[in-house]
Amino acid sequence: MSHDTPNPPRSATSGNAARWHMLCAAAASTALAACVTNPPAPSPAPAPAPASATTGAAAPATSSAAPRAAPAAPTCETLPTMSNDKKVAVGAAIGALSGAVIGSQIKGNRTQHAVTGALGGALVGALAGSAFKNDIDVEEQADGSVRLKIPGRLMFASGQSSLSPGFQSTLANVTTTVKKYCGVTVRVVGHTDNVGDRRSNQSLSDQRARAVQGFMQNQGMERMRVFAEGHGQDEPIAPNTNEEGRQQNRRVEVYVRPPAS
């Protein structure tokens, strides 16, 4: 006798399948309704492409050129010319102020006269307010430069190379005058007496000349317009046999040269 489990009635199996198909149909109907009643939002339309030469649309005219800058103001002046009458007056003024002889030493061509006379006059003006104006010789040289011969005692303490504070305003005025004229250059030369050994005197004269050079550069004088050198004890202008002569030999000479004509 067989104990196999009997199969369910066919009618029951068919009923389950029918219910399954009904559930699937209902789910599909619900999903379709959702798609119809809630459609996805449309994507935004792309922005129109800018007009280009290929589309034939003209772009608005724009100017790419930067506004033209105004010309820079000149940083220096041209030395003025000077008539013969004015040169004589300058010579007299310099003689009265500092014992110079510019008026009687004008040589060379007329153009150089005018340039040198104007430069000498400008330097006299720079020294006019100085307490040391009567101690500084201003003299025109044969090469067209103007020499300022300055006693060392005005500028430096004995044996020292630091510029005396009391003389700095005078040197600043000279520098301001010189640097404003285009092409004017300066050569600073230091000198000593013969007291001490030659090497020490040479070194001291170098250091003093460089001190003047450095001060003028710090006042705005371009580096390539001011030069310095020391001549030690080799170029005395008075005998070194007494203190008066040695004092004259201890000096700094500043040669101010106008631009080449």
Do the strands 251-257 and 146-151 form a parallel or antiparallel pair, or are they unpaired? antiparallel
Provide the H-helix boundaries in the chain.
Answer: 10-37, 84-98, 110-127, 152-155, 165-179, 198-218, 243-249
Mean pLDDT of the chain: 77
Do the strands 226-230 and 185-191 form a parallel or antiparallel pair, or are they unpaired? parallel
Highest mean pLDDT among 26-40, 45-59, 115-129, 166-180: 166-180
Q: How much is the average pLDDT of 196-201?
A: 97
In sequence order, the 6+-apart residues with CB closer than 8 A to the CB of 106 are 87, 91, 113, 116, 117, 140
Euclidean distance between CA atoms 139 and 150, whole angstroms: 12
User: Which tokens go with 135?
Assistant: 């101690």
Q: How confident is the model at residue 60 (pLDDT cuts 50, 70, 90)?
A: low
pLDDT for the residue numbered 66 = 63
Q: How much is the average pLDDT of 85-110?
A: 43
Domains and CATH numbers, the chain: 84-257 (3.30.1330.60)
Q: How much is the average pLDDT of 157-177?
A: 97
Q: Residue 81 above 90 pLDDT?
A: no
User: Is the pTM value of this prediction over 0.75?
Assistant: no
Q: How confident is the model at residue 237 (pLDDT cuts 50, 70, 90)?
A: very high
Q: Residue 103 above 60 pLDDT?
A: no
Which of 190, 200, 172, 198 has the alpha carbon at shortest distance from 227?
190
By the 8 A CB rule, do 148 and 136 touch? Answer: yes
Euclidean distance between CA atoms 139 and 120, whole angstroms: 8
Q: Residue 144 above 70 pLDDT?
A: yes
pLDDT for the residue numbered 143 = 84
Q: Residue 258 above 70 pLDDT?
A: yes
Euclidean distance between CA atoms 181 and 115, whole angstroms: 11
pLDDT for the residue numbered 17 = 54
Q: Residue 220 above 50 pLDDT?
A: yes
